[in-house]
Amino acid sequence: MSPLSLPDPDSTDPAVHSGDGAARRRRGARFWVVTVAAATAVLLTASLGQWQLGRADQKNQLAAQRDAREAMPVLGHRDFLAALNADTPDALHDRRVELRGQWLAEHTVFLENRTMAGRVGFLVVTPLQLEGTSEVLLVQRGWVPRSFEDRTALPPVATPPEPVLLAGRLAPPPSKLYEFDGGARGQIRQNIDLAALREEWSLPLIPLTLQQVSPADRAESVPDALLRDWPRVGHDVHKHYGYALQWFGLCALLIILYVWFQFIAPRRRRH
């Protein structure tokens, strides 16, 4: 038998050259597929990193605004009513106020699945009829723990029937959580919407809320068990810097892997 002969690489056999051409086309197609995928991933991770930096900057600006407005003089009852007619609601956010009024206890709402001090419970919200006017202000009175044996059990909250003097900070309505159908009625709710409450209660609600504080010489005279450790805007800004670092690190890793496997490793194999 004649020895097995290998094809000559310099042969002019069309089959040999067509095989080499097909292999080169496959390598070229694979190169561009990987390039497009890598470029898309790099752009996406870089954009997510920039978005996290933008969120951090936004929270820093809100924190600076809060500090500046909290340093302003406290708005008394009459000053607050005058400011309502002169300013937009956003211009009053974070201002400290002292208000007099009457609790509308029958409209108290308990917002569930709200956390404070690392625990889950209810955020107690009650409208306050402002003294000397028909306007009503929704007050975020504080947080109470819930019963895990009976989710429908409401904790007792002291609500004095006589007029009260409240101190607090003006704020937007409580942040909204994910809500299933049927969670917008009754005393226990997931979220509140001021426009919907105006219609439901037929009350002239001001487009603001008050986060009540409770220093002994300024809050209502009847003690309660409400916790008022309100989170400050920007207290968690460090997490956005951490997320941004992760996204930028992943972006850099993708670039390094692309350069290595697309250029450096093939060249090392050829040499």
- Average of per-residue pLDDT values in the chain: 86
Nearest to 109 by CA among 170, 218, 196, 233: 196
Beta strands in 34-118 (DSSP E): 96-103, 109-116
* pTM for the full predicted model: 0.73
pLDDT tier at 13, thresholds 50, 70, 90: low
pLDDT digits (tens, 9 = 90+) for 70-90: 899 999 999 999 998 888 888
* CATH 2.40.50 assigned to 74-151+160-213: yes
Residue 244 makes CB contacts below 8 A (sequence gap 6+) with 49, 50, 52, 53, 56
Percent of the chain residues topping a pLDDT of 70: 86
pLDDT digits (tens, 9 = 90+) for 211-221: 999 653 444 44
